[in-house]
Amino acid sequence: MNAPLSMASVFFAASAVLGAGARPEPQMQAAPLGVQKIHENVYMVKGGAGANAGFIIGEKEVFVIDVKMTAESSAEMLAAIGRVTRFPVTAILLTHSDRDHVDGFPGFPKGLRIIAQQNCLKELEEASAAQPFLKDYLPTMTFDKELAIKSGPLSIELRHYGPAHTSGDIVVNVPGASVAFVGDLVFLGRDPLIHRRKNGSSAGLVTTLEAILAYEPSIETFIPGHGEPLGRNDIGGLIKSVEEKREKVAGLVAAGKTLDEVKKVFGISEPPAGQMRFPSLVEIIYLELTEKR
């Protein structure tokens, strides 16, 4: 293996968080793509178009986590990987199906192993009607709850704890490094995003985050789909924040408040005409509690 690449990079904070088939939002120019070493053989990829990605170097092979949002950025990522190691990419692990994590597939060669949770496959199959290129990059291996991967002495554990951000989120855990890639299960500095149309769940998000913290051996570093690496206190704070909102919304629902009244309590306003926004966490919680799908 060649010497690890040391490269400063700036997170592209304005990267749109898109679900498969969603209308893209206007984006600022992306920061240059860069690679950050997190642990021996575990790397985070930031910048470029779309969400954070990553890669793990196994025994004479490389596992990529998510594939950015454009073919150009995924090609840049492959080139960056080539400057870190001479080993080939043999597999792609998908944290979930959102476009800013999967639209870069055309930058990768066809025929790689693509591993995802079984619901992620269903979401990508549905999205392929509008995005035909996805048909060439559908997951070739799926699982329900967990899957263990061995590559020489390296172990990678994939786990799904139920619907959360989407119906098919997975946590990519490297036990020997105490590092996990968590996709869009974790946002800091803003409320988490729940894709209700993909059967995401705020209650499921709490369950998943609690399971991540309870995992043994413990995970100390969490690589989110957007932002910088996080620690256990960050995950605990997010759990507390979501639970507090769920409790407050539940109280308002019990008091007979309408959705508009609940949004007013939280100061949630409608966007200007013609501007798209995803439903807020408060709205998602209200709809879950009142079962209005």
For residues 219 and 257, what is the distance between their CA atoms, to the nearest angstrom? 40
For residues 41 and 118, what is the distance between their CA atoms, to the nearest angstrom? 27
For residues 286 and 253, what is the distance between their CA atoms, to the nearest angstrom? 7
pLDDT one-digit tens code per residue, 228-256: 999 999 999 999 999 999 999 999 999 99
- What pLDDT, on the 0 to 100 scale, is given for residue 16? 36
Q: Contact, 170 vs 159, CB < 8 A?
A: yes
- What pLDDT, on the 0 to 100 scale, is given for residue 21? 42
For residues 271 and 268, what is the distance between their CA atoms, to the nearest angstrom? 9
Model's pTM, two decimal places? 0.89
- What pLDDT, on the 0 to 100 scale, is given for residue 125? 98
- What pLDDT, on the 0 to 100 scale, is given for residue 5? 34
Q: Work out the average pLDDT over 20-24.
A: 42
Q: Is 271 exposed, middle or buried (0-12, 13-18, 19+ CB in 10 A)?
A: exposed
Q: How many CB atoms lie within 10 A of CB 16?
A: 20
Q: Where do the domains of the chain lie, and which CATH numbers do they carry?
A: 34-290 (3.60.15.10)
Q: Contact, 215 vs 173, CB < 8 A?
A: yes
Confidence grade of residue 292 (pLDDT, cut at 50, 70, 90) = low
- What pLDDT, on the 0 to 100 scale, is given for residue 4? 37
Largest CA distance in the chain: 63
For residues 137 and 153, what is the distance between their CA atoms, to the nearest angstrom? 28
- Record the tokens describing residue 129, joined without a space: 């009607």
Q: ∠67-72-74 over CA atoms, to 5°? A: 20
Residue type at 29 in one-letter notation: Q
For residues 76 and 265, what is the distance between their CA atoms, to the nearest angstrom? 45
- What pLDDT, on the 0 to 100 scale, is given for residue 28? 46
- What pLDDT, on the 0 to 100 scale, is given for residue 273? 77
Three-state secondary structure call for residue 88: coil
